[in-house]
Amino acid sequence: MATTSETFAAETFAGNWQRRQCFVWFEQPEHAEDYGLWVLSHRDSGLIDQSNGAIIRKRLEKFEATGDVIFFGCSHWLVGTTNEMAVRVYEPGTTKTTPAFNALLAIVDQIERYPILDESDYSEREYESALAGIDCMVTGKIHIPIDAPEDWKEQVYSWLSDNEPNELENCDDQGAFPSADSIGRALVALGIIAGEQTEGNN
């Protein structure tokens, strides 16, 4: 039997897309008013939302076959493309909530208790983002020799983790962006470059 909070959540979620301004849902399923839309991620999503969105999708993919969950993309003037899902709230012709909606409700409850659904997935995204930040910060500032090890970014990350961990702090949930100076120190200490080199001083 549904609790008051579950009933309220179902009643609020079902048809929530009808309250969006300047929104058109193409290729609506039958009885679209029984579905609610959930934004999994968008262009400007931070790492937590990216991770949670991926985990939510993974957990609810099993409901695609029944049509209780539909994944699709939308365009938004402010945040570009959004990755969304439509979740059927009610069993057709009843007020009974679907297993898909109940699963989403359990996920929402988990997020309310702790914001990250999967620490392993989130940590991996933090790591990959930091490697991308290292790559970005050396461009035009530090010359990486053509014979540098393929895993030089990973080596730099490890060195910074051991020696200057503050350089790997997650900035506004967008990942780490170590300074070019700290990356240079790491490269020198690792013997990858002879000194802090800049482009043009090869």
Verdict on whether the full-model pTM lies above 0.75: yes
Assess whether 88 and 124 both reside in one domain.
Answer: no
Assess whether 86 and 44 both reside in one domain.
Answer: yes
Instruction: Tell me, yes or no, whether 195 lies in a domain.
Output: no
Assess whether 96 and 125 both reside in one domain.
Answer: no
Assess whether 98 and 134 both reside in one domain.
Answer: no
Instruction: Tell me, yes or no, whether 171 lies in a domain.
Output: yes
Range of the domain at 166: 119-189
CA angle 192–196–198, rounded 5-degree value: 105
Domain boundary (54, 89, 113) is at 113
The pLDDT of residue 80 is above 80: no
Cα 174 to Cα 44, 45, 111, 171, distances in angstroms: 9, 8, 19, 6
For the stretch 147-189, pLDDT in tens is 999 999 999 999 999 999 999 999 899 999 999 999 999 999 9
Instruction: Tell me, yes or no, whether 198 lies in a domain.
Output: no
Are 7 and 95 in contact by the 8 Å Cβ rule? The answer is no
Instruction: Tell me, yes or no, whether 19 lies in a domain.
Output: yes
Instruction: Tell me, yes or no, whether 201 lies in a domain.
Output: no
CA dihedral 74, 79, 84, 87 (to 10 degrees): -100
Domain total of the chain: 2
Assess whether 143 and 164 both reside in one domain.
Answer: yes
Assess whether 16 and 74 both reside in one domain.
Answer: yes
Are 37 and 17 in contact by the 8 Å Cβ rule? The answer is yes
Assess whether 123 and 107 both reside in one domain.
Answer: no
Instruction: Tell me, yes or no, whether 200 lies in a domain.
Output: no
For the stretch 100-135, pLDDT in tens is 999 999 999 999 999 999 999 999 999 999 999 999
Domain boundary (65, 92, 113) is at 113
Assess whether 125 and 46 both reside in one domain.
Answer: no
Region for 27 from its dihedrals, namely left if φ exceeds 0, alpha if ψ lies in -120 to 50, beta otherwise: left
CA distance 163 to 201: 27
Domain boundary (69, 91, 113) is at 113
Assess whether 14 and 90 both reside in one domain.
Answer: yes
Assess whether 109 and 9 both reside in one domain.
Answer: yes
For the stretch 51-72, pLDDT in tens is 999 999 999 999 999 999 999 9
Cα 158 to Cα 5, 15, 25, 165, distances in angstroms: 47, 49, 47, 9
